[in-house]
Amino acid sequence: MKEIEAKLKISDLAIIEKANLKKIKEADVFDVYFDNEFLKLKAQDKVLRLRKEGDKAYIAYKGAREKHKDLIVREEIEPTISSFEDGQLILKNLGFYEIVRVEKKRSFFSIEKFPSLSITIDDYPFIGLFLEIEGEEQEVYGFLNDFGFDLENTIQKNCMEIFLDYCKENKLNFENPEKHLTFEDESNLKLVKI
């Protein structure tokens, strides 16, 4: 299945009222990305991700990002699994190791005019709020058009690439930054600065 989405950095939650978005649910999300020496998924821009979302768990494979001027387009397969812990055990026993850890608070929305769209607002540690609109390409563009989003502002990078840029810009010298996009790390860094 193709994942087609627009990602935008937002400074506040005004889009909720502006677009009359209806909140479906919210959840704390914890993602762990895996790789191994044989497959070298990261080098191919592919993803093997284990996700804990509230009390649910998912495993996902994402293919390399396709060339697109505004949107993120890639193959995605994401089934539910029995538990996050079982997923970790299976992947580790198959020779995969953890390369990235990411936490976020995610809110899910629907919109009457574009009922097939999946709309989320993610609040990440360090890097802030991001709006994601996922669905059919025409509806994604329709949403962006209707609510005045400039296509020049869509982001092709993933959250870790954005965080690594943030670390460089703010001179954050984590030993292994890919494992520090967590609220605990953000809180610990604030304590150190006080």
pLDDT (tens digit per residue) in 168-182:
999 998 999 999 999
List strand residue ranges (DSSP E) for 54-184, in order. Answer: 56-62, 72-77, 80-81, 97-110, 118-124, 128-134
How many structural domains is the chain composed of? Answer: 1
**What stretches in the chain show pLDDT beneath 50?**
194
pLDDT (tens digit per residue) in 16-49:
999 999 999 999 999 999 999 999 999 999 999 9
pLDDT at 118: 97
CATH number of the domain to which 64 belongs: 2.40.320.10
pLDDT at 193: 62
pLDDT at 190: 76
**Residue 121: domain span:** 2-193
pLDDT at 189: 84
